[in-house]
Amino acid sequence: MQKCYYEILFVSKTADSAVIKKAYRKLAMKYHPDRNPDNKEAEAAFKECSEAYEVLSDLQKRKIYDTYGHEGLKNSGYQAPGNFEDMFSGLGDLFGDLFGGGGNRARARRNGPLPGNDLRYDIEISFMEAVHGLAKEVEINRRDTCWTCEGTGCRPGYKREVCRSCNGRGQVIRSQGFFQVSSACPQCHGEGEVVTEPCNDCNGSGLVDKKKKVSLKIPAGVDTGAQMRLRGEGEGGRRGGPSGDLYVVIHVQEHEFFKRDRHTIYCELPVSMVQAALGCKVDVPTIHGKKKMNIAAGSQSGERYTLKKEGVPNLRGGGRGDMIVQLIVKTPTNLCDEQKKVLENFDELCQKHGQHKENEGFFSKLFHEVIGKKDKES
């Protein structure tokens, strides 16, 4: 059962945005991974409070959560924080320009907490690793929150100032003929504020470049194109905003013997002419180890045998798929005189027992069809 977001941040359900922000900053500073390296409990607590803040700092999400709880958020279909905030901010500016009064509200949103961007990491794994799953640690490069300035971009003791170019609106208006065009202010880049005393560690950006090791637990049965979402492992947030997420995209290498179609494994098994004719028991390599398989006497090249539950595990449970083994009957080459003599004797025995009649009947019918067609044409 998921914990209550208000309890995670130690605030009441009537707390305003300022109280929630202050509570989150305090917890984020305490549990941030950079301050607690290799501390899994601190890492879990950091992700937990970031998730709580992501919801409670957004009025729409908070309203859904207060009314319907966690299930309501899952079913609401709201957009990712970064994209939604950027879009809503832009619309606020547009409505403010047209009707007035919207600029201050838009600026308040622009200058509020900014969630970090989501990141993508592509990883290549072997065929067998995809089949059986693996735990792996990877190192990623990301822009993380500067904890010297807490993501504000300002030197400790200083604050951001209202942009003089746009008077804090974040937008500038240019005349083009009969029209007026509004665009992001080039001085403050649409934020409405500027950093006059930049932080020495992040040069005013609020973010610093860092390398971080991330533990991946790739489940058995993944295939190329599968994605894993690691919450809070993306780019760091600014001005108290939560970190973005990390999306790990999986690419699986091909195998020289096995082929895969979803949960089914296919392979070709070479057998000798004698094995196919007499039948035998052979060792078949599978993705789960060596298995015994009976080949029926008189088997032909191309025939398929099914090994039940020797395929790929189902990601959603429900056991494994099957393995399909296709026989490839190999014709012997580079025969010695003795081997040739044995095969000639074998062929004579086949004729004696009428085992060539089926082929003779097929070719006789084919010749009659060809000759008959030519006679009609002439």
Q: Reduced to 3 states, what is the DSSP secondary structure of residue 166?
A: coil
Rounded CA gap, 295 and 3, in Å?
58
Q: Which residues pair with 306 in a beta bridge?
A: 324
Q: How confident is the model at residue 369, as a pLDDT?
A: 56
Statement: residue 102 has pLDDT above 70: no
Burial class (CB in 10 A: 0-12, 13-18, 19+), 269: middle
> Percent of the chain, pLDDT > 90?
16
Statement: residue 326 has pLDDT above 70: yes
What value, to the nearest 5°, has the Cα angle with vertex 79 and ends 78 and 84?
A: 120
Q: H or E segment at 218?
A: strand 207-218
Nearest Cα residue to 25 out of 107, 145, 143 = 145
The phi, psi pair for 200, rounded to 5°, reads: -70, -25
Q: Residue written as tokens 């989501």?
A: 118
Instruction: Please state, rounded to an integer, the average pLDDT across all residues of the chain.
Output: 79
Q: How confident is the model at residue 82, as a pLDDT?
A: 37
Statement: residue 150 has pLDDT above 60: yes
Per-residue pLDDT of 296-314, as tens digits, reads 998 888 999 999 999 999 8
Whether pTM > 0.85 for this model: the answer is no
Statement: residue 94 has pLDDT above 70: no
